[in-house]
Structure 1
């Protein structure tokens, strides 16, 4: 083995990689916010009395959960482009991860809604709340308490999925920056080892932050 490690090259590029990590977090957070919104809609649609809503929700969930995330991103970037809807790398990656997040979270939210006793809605209505107000103020907070930790796991998964952006030309996230640095210096092991450590630390930071939030929000 004649490979000579040059860690100084990777450490000197650390500021650029950390800026890329911020872009990674931006995509992950936006995809979670949008994913949670669509997941709530899908969870309600799957319990709707209308067959069309149930079918649309089931189709989304089945496609998101049973096809590779890579294909979903490809469809957002190349598939929509073939029918005249052109998306740049960032929105295509965001759309693909959002689609995936919503599909996985929808089933989690559906279980969370079932965990909230129906008497909660009836009690809220008896106090004079409308159905939308009761759902927003009474049912949703209890559901989010049930699904909080699965949401944390999905957030970590969303962070890791952002690395797929490099295959649709995104070059300013952590993986894209790392790949550009690797092409210029051919120090593959050093750069990707440092990038892996950054991904690991981000995931651990998200998990620790979620535990602290859970302690503050759900200790009573």
Structure 2
């Protein structure tokens, strides 16, 4: 009934493994940088969400709502296509010809678009995670620190923040794995140097779709397992007391 005559050629995929591993390094690079940015911005957003200032709360709420309730691909698209369009509109308002100056502000490199898009998404999710972590730290910790002579900033930086990160360690690990996998959306904005981009280019040249994407999936799996295993070792050190 079915005529299946597909022949596997794994040797082509394994010969291209160095190129795929180079792409995996770019994938990991984007994920780590987006997590670093996301953590920094996420802490600021979490504090802003709890601020008594309406403008700060509104800004944080808007960021979080967009990041958590729209597709990640949409966010990357808006950064890749939207930012140049907005800059072009502003330039037309002020009658500025950047191209005459030799400056091309209307093109955003796909690498940076994916990095900023994933960082934007991470910050939104981590902000809510951090807000929960901050609530998990008793107010008595801050009062005790102040009674020992700590200023408000030092009490937060040295007492509250470490306890918050300890409380949200496992959700941060999950977010890191999510960031690694989410880099694959870069293929839709022309990113061809990460693992998915390299795999697609190899597939387009050889038409060995199953072999290359199966190998790419295995590499993603190994990277995710390394991250989760490393996090488990760190957690053993953090939570053994």
TM-score (norm 2): 0.90
In structure 1, runs of 5+ residues without a counterpart are: none
Counterpart of 1:190 (choices 199, 203, 211) is 211
Counterpart of 1:51 (choices 44, 51, 54) is 54
Counterpart of 1:200 (choices 212, 215, 221) is 221
In structure 2, runs of 5+ residues without a counterpart are: 88-104
User: Does the alignment pair 1:179 with 2:200?
Assistant: yes
- 1:129 Cα offset (Å): 1.0
- 1:128 Cα offset (Å): 1.0
Larger Rg: 2
Deviations 1:154-175 (A, max 9, x none): 0000000000111111111000
- 1:107 Cα offset (Å): 0.6
- 1:63 Cα offset (Å): 0.3
Equivalences for residues 136-147 of structure 1 within 5 A: 136-147=157-168
Moved over 6 A (4+): none
User: Does the alignment pair 1:36 with 2:57?
Assistant: no
- 1:53 Cα offset (Å): 0.5
TM-score (norm 1): 0.98
Equivalences for residues 42-121 of structure 1 within 5 A: 42-84=45-87, 85=105, 86-121=107-142
Q: 1:142 & 1:75 partners in 2: Cα distance? A: 36
Q: How many residues align?
A: 220
Q: Report the RMSD for the aligned CA atoms in angstroms.
A: 0.8
